[in-house]
Amino acid sequence: ETGVTQSPTHLIKTRGQQVTLRCSSQSGHNTVSWYQQALGQGPQFIFQYYREEENGRGNFPPRFSGLQFPNYSSELNVNALELDDSALYLCASSPGSFLSPYEQYFGPGTRLTVT
Amino acid sequence: QKEVEQDPGPLSVPEGAIVSLNCTYSNSAFQYFMWYRQYSRKGPELLMYTYSSGNKEDGRFTAQVDKSSKYISLFIRDSQPSDSATYLCAMRGYSGAGSYQLTFGKGTKLSVIP
């Protein structure tokens, strides 16, 4: 059992709206990464937070932003939603920024549908 | 050219068959090479990882990396219906400021028919 939880499980939003997705990291993990997985595609790296600071970002526009809290839970915020933002959003936590593969665990994801 | 290429399939095999899944990559800076399994409506779970060229075996699974050809493979022996899932290859690269990111292939959807 990985211990990474995400909420909500799924939601539906309208184009132009804003959305906040939440992730609770596994106990003892201070690093969280967020990924976007479109249907039929592999996950794409959005950004990573280490000890409440963003320290890595993929090729996503600024309307994708995040927060990490002192208890290492995390939020992904997306503004001005577009139809192409419809995807499964995954968070993954690990105990350090150097990302040993065997130490990173994914949550079940939040499925976002933008209409 | 995408950094990681993976044939999305779908791939359908009879129970007991040997399955071969493959990925190619273009970035020589990639370090760890990983295979994830993703069941429908679930997050990816790490199956195997390797750092260097060569083979690594774990039960029915064998991961193979050829860095000179930029080619990785996952073999599944004696495939079972419970192996039916999407298999994602992933590679770790440096994304700056002391952080690393995973670059995934598209995933291959595998069905093992009883």
Using CA atoms, how far apart are residues A33 and A49, in angstroms rounded to an integer? Answer: 6
Chain A interface includes B95 (CB < 8 A) = yes
- What residues in A contact B32, CB-CB < 8 Å? 101
DSSP collapsed to 3 states, chain A: CCCCEEECCEEEECCCCCEEEEEECCCCCCEEEEEEECCCCCCEEEEEEECCEEEEECCCCCCEEEEECCCCCEEEEECCCCHHHCEEEEEEEECCCCCCHHHCEECCCEEEEEC
pLDDT tens-digit profile, chain A (115 residues): 458 999 999 999 999 999 999 999 988 888 899 999 999 899 999 999 988 999 888 899 999 999 999 988 999 999 999 999 999 999 999 887 666 656 788 999 999 999 9
From the list B34, B43, B46, which residue is nearest A90 (CB)?
B43
- What residues in A contact B52, CB-CB < 8 Å? none
Please indicate whether, in this complex, the C-beta atoms of B106 and A40 are within 8 angstroms of each other. Answer: yes
> Shortest Cα distance from B79 to chain A (angstroms)?
23
Residue of B nearest to A104 (CA): B46
Single-letter amino acid code for the residue at A23: C
What pLDDT digit, counting tens, does each position of B66-106 carry?
A: 999 999 999 999 999 999 999 999 998 876 666 678 899 99
Single-letter amino acid code for the residue at B84: S
Contacts across the A-B interface (CB distance below 8 Å): 79
Residues of A with a Cβ under 8 Å from any B Cβ are: 2, 4, 33, 35, 40-45, 48, 50, 55-58, 90, 92, 97-99, 101-102, 104, 106-109, 111
Tokens of A34: 């967020």
Residue of B nearest to A102 (CA): B46
